[in-house]
Structure 1
Amino acid sequence: MSGGEWQRLAAARAFYRINARFMICDEPTSALDPRAEEAMYDRNRRLGAGRTVILITHRLGSTRNADRIPVLDAGRVLEGGTHESLLAQDGSEYAAMWEKQAKTYSDQPA
């Protein structure tokens, strides 16, 4: 199986453990194409309802719907908040990283 297929299998097992009160997802979409990534996050939102979902990611687009986002550096929490509140903070590390990732999409030729 490919890396993406293994990720889908692991996610399916986590999603369907009905009695689980929380899920930990460590880079759950790193080997998926954009369509599969979107589908994964749609399922995550739907099936994670009523549970605590810990999402570890470097893809900041996937954090937009999070209730709380802690920004870590070398094991320390630098800042935290919602997507909107972190973008609104002057000098926010999250906002700087968001801008860098967004720039890679906006600078590409159409």
Structure 2
Amino acid sequence: MADERPMLAYKVLTGEQLAALERDGRFDGAPVDLADGFVHLSTAAQLTATVDKHFAGQDDLHVAAVDLEAYADRVRWEAAREGQLFPHLYEPLLLETVVAYGPLERLEDGTVKLPIAG
């Protein structure tokens, strides 16, 4: 049900990708995004597993919190890993829709710390 879906999703970016987002005001996608035809996003609950699976061993990573309401029907919730529904953005990620971002950090329990607007 659409009204139960989170208002924020998260995108993991390399330092170079974040710099491009800041410089250009938009991010067209990482190579996997461009190949799949959409920008891969994760919910807060999915973020740590996404980082562990797709970014293990990488340094200089950043997490951007994305306002999904700004995209309305341009975000599709589609089954991916283990049948979970993931938010997929079918257009470039715009800097103006990023409500917070920061370096990827982990909490004591190993989960990825969410960036907080402020």
TM-score computed with the length of structure 1 as normaliser: 0.24
Q: Which has the higher strand share?
A: 2
Structure showing greater radius of gyration is 1
